[in-house]
Chain A
């Protein structure tokens, strides 16, 4: 009897926590489809606020910038991060310092990295813009990519590499024909994760974008819009941004869990 009550209590807790987690964003998504746009009354379903987004030049430019930043930082960090992961796992015996350095970008507070990079770029006299955001995003993205790829390598059977070598394949061929195909799902999952992180990243972009409006990214645009209050347009934009990251993440999860084809 007591067990059944405990179970009910657990269900209640779960219900409350999930309500807390999902109600605020649900309200936001709901309001973005409200014709009147006000939270006071539901005046009917409409996608007109999404139409407004497409007509807003600032938002479109910011979205374009975000796409450029995300694509380039994803490409760079996927290559660097995957190579790093393979190197680290082949080497096995890595010092504590090395492990810390690889792990650090994931836990270092954004604001610290942001001001460090801002000081660094300005002392070097680098003109800041989208390119500085890209190289800065690679710092934390490559750490996440390498973490995802390393996780896959933990269960990697290195004897197939030896087999490939014994059969006369060069190291390059072994890498391309044996290691890469096995790692591909993890690399793609890492790339998608990097893409999502880059699309959503605000603080580092904000500090390394330089002056002027030409290199504003979507999160920066959202930040400046939010400061002036609630509008149905932001609701729609927020919904789109949220949908993009959730879809990319779900895809990444799926890829990574999929395992090897034919296994």
Chain B
């Protein structure tokens, strides 16, 4: 039963589907990046490195850097908040933890657009926060909060925070409390125990959370489009524009290719961190 071909037969429809509609289209993007843009927006089938070079043109490199900055900011703040929340959940009584975790992650499963829209409701010129400020007696012109870089960062943190809570909770909940106790018994303060014992053992969770928020943020185009306003551009919006308005598919493909490389690099770094953390434990004992 286990040595025959039947498992392959069961797998093949799905694998063919993934091959035809994921692998091939993604390879197509790689190929497209090396073609020339046609006179009228089409594709001219001659090899060129121009598109790749254009990505590193200061004009576009700057957008890349800004996207990385915003993604880094969102990932950094989300990691701190998410770790704190996961730590707090892990400190609660055992029987409460799964319910708390469920409610922390629940918003993650509701519609992304709706969650982003909620911040438009809060931040817009006639929104709740402005009204609240007026109500407590603030007069005069309030700085616009919507359509700013900060609004984009807040939106990204809001959308991806549950993910960090989840990734940080896993190592925190597996932590053996006796280790912390041993550290205290040996005279370490609570803070030292946290910094020298708990934190190093749970770093893979933070790394996973950080990398995922960063990767999801840097290529994001919905949040910048909705909370950043029309003129606010991140890489995702640039890619979007090449495909749907500027009609320069080869350049759009080149942008995506560089984006994918950045993402893959980060995901691999994260896998290494996770590997080292688990490998270290097993290796030292053996």
| Least distance between B135 CB and chain A CB atoms (Å) | 10
For the complex, what is the distance from the CA of A146 to the CA of B239, rounded to whole Å? 31
Q: Which residue of A lies closest to B249 (CB)?
A: A119
Mostly, the A contact residues are: helix
In this complex, the member of A27, A87, A146, A202 whose beta carbon has the largest number of chain B beta carbons within 10 angstroms is A87
In the complex, per-residue mask of B155-185: 1 if CB is within 8 Å of any chain A CB, else 0: 0001001100100000000000000000000
Number of interface residues of B (CB under 8 A): 83
B21 located at the interface, meaning its Cβ lies under 8 Å from any Cβ of chain A in the complex: yes
Binds A, one of B47-55, B125-133, B277-285: B125-133
Chain A residues with Cβ under 8 A from B7's Cβ? 86-88, 90-91
Chain A residues with Cβ under 8 A from B88's Cβ? 10-11, 13-14, 17
For the complex, what is the distance from the CA of A107 to the CA of B28, rounded to whole Å? 19
For the complex, what is the distance from the CA of A47 to the CA of B221, rounded to whole Å? 33
Q: What interface size band does chain A fall in?
A: 35 or more
For the complex, what is the distance from the CA of A118 to the CA of B128, rounded to whole Å? 39
B120 located at the interface, meaning its Cβ lies under 8 Å from any Cβ of chain A in the complex: yes
State whether A200 and B190 are in contact (beta carbons under 8 Å apart), knowing that A87-B8, A142-B18, A235-B121 are contacts in the complex: no
Further 18 A-B residue pairs, CB within 8 A, beyond A27-B118, A112-B219, A120-B28? A14-B85, A17-B104, A27-B121, A28-B121, A40-B131, A80-B14, A83-B13, A84-B15, A101-B19, A113-B22, A119-B32, A139-B21, A139-B22, A146-B14, A203-B221, A227-B225, A227-B226, A242-B110
A contact residues vs B (CB 8 Å cutoff): 2, 6-7, 10-11, 13-14, 17-18, 20-22, 24-25, 27-28, 31, 38-40, 79-81, 83-84, 86-88, 90-92, 98, 101-102, 104-105, 107-109, 111-113, 115-120, 123, 135-136, 138-139, 142-143, 146, 161-162, 165, 171, 196, 200, 202-203, 207, 219, 222-223, 226-227, 229-230, 234-235, 238, 241-242, 245-246, 249, 253
B contact residues vs A (CB 8 Å cutoff): 1-2, 6-15, 17-19, 21-26, 28-29, 32, 81, 84-85, 87-89, 91-92, 100, 102-104, 106-107, 109-122, 124, 126-128, 131, 158, 161-162, 165, 190, 215-216, 219-222, 225-226, 236, 239-240, 243-244, 249, 252-253, 256, 259-260, 263, 267
